[in-house]
Amino acid sequence: MANHNNTLNSKNKVLSLDELHLDIENRRRINQLIEEFTYIEALNTLNIPVDNKILLHGHTGCGKTATAHAIGLALNKKVITLNLGSFVSSRLGETAKNLSDIFKTASNDKAILFIDEFDFIGKLRDYDNKDSGEIKRLVNALIQQIDHLSDTSLLICATNHLDIIDTALLRRFQIRLEYLLPTKEALDIYYDGVLSSFPDNINQIKRSYGISFAEAKDLAYQQIKAHVIEFEKQRKHLLFSYGALKSKQVQQAHFGREIKGKEDTLSDYILTDIEIKDTSVIKINKTDKLSIATKSRGGSNTIEGLVLEITGAELMQIDRFGLSNYKRVQETTESGAEVWIYVAHNSF
DSSP secondary structure of 270-287 = EEEEEE---HHHHHHHTS
Backbone dihedral angles phi then psi of residue 8, each to the nearest 5 degrees? -120, 140
Looking at residue 247, its pLDDT comes to 80
Looking at residue 91, its pLDDT comes to 61
- The DSSP code for 252 is H
CATH number of 3-179, picked from 3.40.50.720, 3.20.20.140, 3.40.50.300, 3.90.1200.10: 3.40.50.300
Distances in Å between the Cα of 150 and the Cα atoms of 106, 140, 153 are: 9, 18, 5
Q: Please provide the DSSP assignment of 59-77 as one string.
A: STTSSHHHHHHHHHHHHT-
Residues in Cβ contact with 73 at an 8 Å cutoff, skipping those fewer than 6 apart: 14, 16, 17
Residues in Cβ contact with 98 at an 8 Å cutoff, skipping those fewer than 6 apart: 1, 3, 6, 87, 89
Q: How far apart are CA 207 and CA 222, in angstroms?
A: 12
Q: Which residues of 206-224 are buried (b: 16+ CB within 10 A; e: fewer)?
A: ebeeebbbebbbebbeebb
What kind of architecture, by CATH, is found in domain 236-347?
Roll (3.10)
Is pTM beyond 0.85 here?
A: no
- Residues of the chain under the 50 pLDDT cut: 1-10, 126-127, 130
Contact indicator for 123, 165 with CB cutoff of 8 Å: no
Query: How many CB atoms neighbour CB 158 within 10 A?
Result: 25
Distances in Å between the Cα of 31 and the Cα atoms of 26, 28, 48, 79, 314 are: 9, 5, 18, 18, 55
Q: How far apart are CA 159 and CA 85, in angstroms?
A: 11
Q: Residue 184 in 3-state DSSP?
A: helix
| Closest C-alpha among 156, 163, 185 to residue 69 | 156
